[in-house]
Chain A
Amino acid sequence: MSNKQHTYDAIVIGSGISGGWAAKEFTEKGLKTLVLERGRDVKHLIDYPTTNKYPYEFEHRGELTLAIRKENPVVSKCYAFREDAMHFFVKDKEHPYVQEKPFDWIRGYQVGGKSLLWARQTQRWSDLDFEGPLRDDFAVDWPIRYKDLAAWYTYVEQFAGISGNKDGLPQLPDGDFLPAFPLNAVEDYFKKTVSEKYEGRHVISARCAHLSQPRQVHFDQGRGKCQNRNLCQRGCPFGGYFSSNASTLPWAAKTGNLTLKPFSVVESIIYDEKLGKASGVRVVDANTKEVTEYFAKVIFVNAAAINTNLILLNSTSSRFPDGLGNDSGVLGKYVAFHNYSARISAEYEGLKEFTTDGRNPSDGGYIPRFRNLLKQETDFKRGYAAGFSAYRAPERDMSGIGTDLKEQLLHKNLGPWQVGSHMMGETIPKESNYVKLDKDKKDEWGIPLLRISIDYDENDAKMKKDYLEQLTGMFTEAGFKNIKANDAGQAPGLDIHEMGGARMGHDPKTSVLNKWNQLHDCKNVFVTDGACMTSTSTQNPSLTYMALTARAVDYAVRSMKKGEL
């Protein structure tokens, strides 16, 4: 085939949350867009094999077999890797990597990426986050502020559909929300207790990407109201939650400008020395291993943070011997994540006149960051957000056997409320937390294996201690009993919020991307997934990737029109 047939206006690498947005924005603006996805196609509704199964229709009732657990020590640790959604996760053996330090790398390689699997928690950043590195001197300054992103947050929220309340908090700006999922009796009670006893601490309804009350733009996507199934990781037959598969990709396809190629592993980005910019990408067919090149004026890298680093590091040329856009030498470094390694549970004997009925897909409550918010006040930097939820389960005495036991099993008497929280801590990006290419080992597609060297530090340990102390205190104030603080001790990675490696910054000497998510040194390549993050703050990151992506596409298309790219 001639190059002409392989030439597009824009190429997007990866079809997950961020790539899906790039595809939607480019195609809507009339650009012929090629989306390259290394995994198989997953068509909304059609390719959700387990979506309507009852628990008893699973051979092991959801549980993993020993063989699967043994073969997959890493991905088995993810709470959502179970019999019903296993098929949307990368299995350990399929895509090995080198752990210089323990790192649980959880991946979804298919059309839609991890957007099928995510827990759909969505919060905006505020200037308390964007100004963090400068104020607390722990990373380079973000080249953007909230005002640069605010309108783009609104833009992506309106399309994706985000449920939440306008809580009026400076650390968690309000968005354009669909109605929130309500807190339940005990979540509300805890909210009240916390606001009465702690100045500046709040418990709010978790904000999430569910259509609690769809608008026309959601019906136009073919999506409907969330039906509270809480089986989202299987793919939703109602399109009730946001995934690329249900939302951005079909929307992009409708424009007629989208070419989506599954089974296309991007090996590298091709740099044209004469033009002084990237000309296209080199793709290995996942099945046949055949190599093909595709060309475009602009390239968006959206392979998910760590894989985006891999592609850039592997894109070498005489101009960029250490990876595309890596004049600074920081590419692959300053990787950070969220510290999810502690949780706490307890019981509450009150409010027994209530329970819950139906299911709440939002996960209950959310406690925005309250530590070091306006100024430094603890012996660690930054802070944590936390989840908070409460529920009741039947109280079943299982000590007997025979008819006694049987009666107990069907007993509908409820036990006390169970409450729980988990921490979501900010971590500090450091040069010593990095990913790099292995010099010898390659994968099946001829791409170097990635070596991952990421670890916690003292700041994380102090912050975790504080989380457990503070939440224990808050639980005690609320009269919760049987409080169990639990240091899960899990390796980084399981938070599935890896960020950085190609961070944004003002200065090409210390950062990889500029304020438009454009490589400082190769202007027609953009990175708008987690790799671009200068710092992590505490919010769940994906909403910010969506907003950054839409903004960067807008800028790229304007630049192209001016003949600048």
Chain B
Amino acid sequence: MNRRLAIKQVLIFAGGLALLPSCLRNEGKVSIQLQHLDISAAQEKLLAEIAELIIPKTNTSGAKDLGLHLFVLKMLDDCYDKAEQEQFINGLKAFEGLEGAELKQLLTEANANKAGLAKEISQFFSIMKSRTIGGYLNSKYVMSNLVIWELVPGRYNGYFPVKTA
């Protein structure tokens, strides 16, 4: 057999939006069903804010419109081990109670991997950021409107001219 370079697939497979919004929305409970994680409604809201700061709404949809924080939670719940999940939650705690400029400040520091920042924060942030990005690029919205993904290309051109800017 012969393997197409896997790297190519990474972006295609990283994330998206096909989560079923739960109809049983208990007060105080997260809005999707999770098997391992215990996330409160307040934490969910905070994650939504953080995701939105990572990928904000501009003239195109942002993280909140696409529910990307729910995708992050789904992946965290199903694809990470307990230790990573705990680190994520612990890291998230550092953001609790922050809003607006303060929230943005800490996030910017986490992104810059500022010296002296607690380890959990960077561990949280690295999962949060990469999964938010994955969810965005693999969302139906982006794949249908911005970076079109074709199910049936029906062609191959190995000398496709690149427009130079």
Contacts and interface: CB of A to CB of B under 8 A. Distances in A.
Say whether A associates with B.
yes
Interface of A: 52, 54-67, 79, 82, 118-119, 121, 181-185, 187-188, 206, 227-231, 345, 352-361, 363, 366, 387, 389, 391, 393, 398-403, 405-406, 409-410, 412-414, 418, 420, 422, 424, 495-497, 540
Contacts of B58: 403, 406
B23 interface: no
Contacts of A389: 4-5
Contacts of A79: 3, 6
B79 A63 contact: yes
A229 B153 contact: yes
Contacts of A387: 2-3
Contacts, number: 172
A320 B60 CA distance: 73
A362 to B, nearest CB: 9
B137 interface: yes
Contacts of B9: 62
Interface in B31-54: 53-54
A313 to B, nearest CB: 26
B78 A358 contact: no
A391 B157 CA distance: 12
Contact of B152 (A59, A229, A399): A229
Contacts of A412: 147
A228 to B, nearest CB: 5
Interface residues of B, number: 61
22 contacts: A54-B151, A56-B139, A56-B140, A61-B13, A61-B134, A63-B75, A121-B1, A121-B2, A184-B159, A185-B158, A228-B154, A231-B151, A353-B161, A354-B160, A356-B160, A357-B160, A391-B5, A400-B111, A402-B55, A406-B56, A412-B147, A540-B1
Contact of A354 (B80, B153, B162): B162
Contact of B160 (A355, A402, A422): A355
Nearest to B156: A358
B165 to A, nearest CB: 8
A178 B60 CA distance: 45
Given A119-B3, A497-B1, A56 B16 contact: yes
Which secondary structure dominates where chain A touches chain B? Answer: loop
A55 B16 contact: yes
Nearest to B62: A406
Contacts of A410: 142, 146-147
A455 B158 CA distance: 39
A58 B139 CA distance: 11
Given A58-B16, A363-B2, A401-B54, 16 more contacts: A56-B138, A59-B18, A60-B78, A61-B16, A63-B79, A79-B3, A181-B156, A183-B158, A227-B153, A231-B151, A345-B5, A353-B164, A393-B7, A393-B8, A412-B147, A414-B162
Given A401-B129, A402-B56, A357 B5 contact: no
B131 to A, nearest CB: 10
Contacts of B147: 410, 412
B89 interface: no
B2 A540 contact: yes
A182 B159 CA distance: 10
A352 B160 CA distance: 10
Contacts of B146: 410
Contacts of B133: 398, 405, 409
Given A55-B13, A82-B13, A402-B56, A228 B156 contact: yes
Nearest to A205: B158
A66 B17 CA distance: 20
Contact of A228 (B5, B13, B155): B155
A61 B14 contact: yes
